């Protein structure tokens, strides 16, 4: 081990070292997958011993849970797109455009600002890894419940068409995720479509509302 790295590592606080190990693990997992990454490799890349990794994360399962918690705090996912004062006001006022636009813009920003997390989630799904289900349970299912509840409320008001809310949610999320995947994985130079997140959110919400509003 490089003495400079070891010295830096020993000077870190427990929280700093834990965060460092998590960042290294996320980078390795997102590039090599879960089955292709060992705790020994994580330790080496972090400049610590493997025992140090297990001191902070007793098992790999604990490490996977910590990744989601860490990314949630780092990216503001603990406060999801509808959990702020402006969004709550839009919901109370039945401002359909603002409700969906605020969500769409924040979702696009999260997705495109953190390509490592996007790759990590796709790899976990392809490998049938537990992290994929953890993410679904903690975030995706909550998103379906939030948007679905708002749609049901607006359908009861007579403002939206009687379409299964989950279908509307899936169509909405599909536009957002496909747009981000194009920009992150396939068309990084944006030759096919080069628009800002603000414009993309506006256009996707306009398409959605034109389809579901009465």
* Alpha helices for the chain (secondary structure H): 3-11, 14-32, 39-46, 50-56, 60-75, 85-92, 96-113, 115-126, 130-135, 141-156, 165-181, 197-212
The percent of residues in the chain predicted with pLDDT above 90, rounded, is: 33
Architecture of domain 76-212: Orthogonal Bundle (1.10)
Residues 3-38 have pLDDT tens digits of 444 444 456 777 788 888 988 888 888 777 777 788
pLDDT surpassing 90 at residue 88: no
Phi, psi torsion values for 72, nearest 5 degrees: -60, -45
Backbone angles phi, psi at 213, to 5 degrees: -80, 145
Please report the pLDDT score of residue 3 as a whole number.
Answer: 43
Domain boundaries, the chain: 3-58, 76-212
Given a contact cutoff of 8 angstroms between Cβ atoms, the answer to whether 86 and 187 are in contact is no
Q: Are 212 and 168 in contact (CB under 8 A)?
A: yes
Segment 53-70 shows an average pLDDT of 80
> Quick one: average pLDDT of 130-157?
86
Q: Rounded distance, CA 22 to CA 112, Å?
A: 20
Q: Is residue 134 very low, low, confident or very high in pLDDT (cuts 50, 70, 90)?
A: confident
Rounded CA-CA distance 179/197 in Å is 10
- How does 165-191 read in b/e, with b if 16+ C-beta sit within 10 Å? beebbeebbebbeebbeebbeeeeeee
CB atoms within 10 A of CB 17: 20
Going by C-beta distance under 8 Å and a sequence separation of 6 or more, which residues neighbour residue 73? Answer: none
The answer, yes or no, to whether residue 76 has pLDDT greater than 50, is no
For residue 150, CA distances in Å to 64, 78, 100, 155, 177 come to: 32, 20, 10, 9, 20
Residue 171 predicted with pLDDT over 70: yes
What's 58's DSSP letter?
S
Question: What is the reported pLDDT for 37?
Answer: 81
On the question of pLDDT at 45 being above 80, the answer is yes
Under CATH, what is the fold of the domain 3-58? Arc Repressor Mutant, subunit A (1.10.10)
How much is the pLDDT for 211? 95
CB-CB contact of 80 with 139 (8 Å): yes
């Amino acid at each position: 081990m490089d003495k400079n790295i070891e010295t830096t590592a020993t000077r870190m606080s427990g929280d700093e070292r834990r965060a460092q190990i998590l960042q290294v693990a996320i980078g390795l997992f997102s590039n090599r997958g879960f089955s292709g990454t060992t705790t020994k490799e994580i330790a080496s890349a972090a400049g610590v011993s493997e025992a140090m990794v297990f001191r902070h994360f007793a098992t790999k399962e604990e490490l996977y849970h910590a990744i989601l918690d860490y990314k949630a705090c780092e990216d503001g996912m603990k406060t999801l797109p509808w959990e702020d004062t402006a969004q709550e006001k839009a919901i109370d006022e039945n401002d359909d455009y603002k409700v969906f636009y605020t969500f769409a813009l924040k979702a696009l920003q999260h997705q495109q600002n953190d390509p490592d997390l996007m790759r990590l989630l796709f790899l976990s799904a392809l490998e049938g890894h537990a992290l994929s289900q953890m993410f679904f349970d903690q975030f995706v299912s909550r998103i379906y419940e939030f948007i679905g509840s708002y749609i049901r409320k607006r359908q009861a008001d007579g403002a939206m068409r009687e379409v299964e809310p989950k279908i509307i949610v899936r169509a909405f999320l599909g536009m957002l995720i496909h747009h981000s995947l194009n920009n992150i994985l396939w068309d990084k130079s944006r030759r096919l479509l080069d628009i800002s997140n603000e414009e993309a959110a506006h256009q996707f919400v306009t398409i959605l509302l034109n389809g579901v509003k009465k």
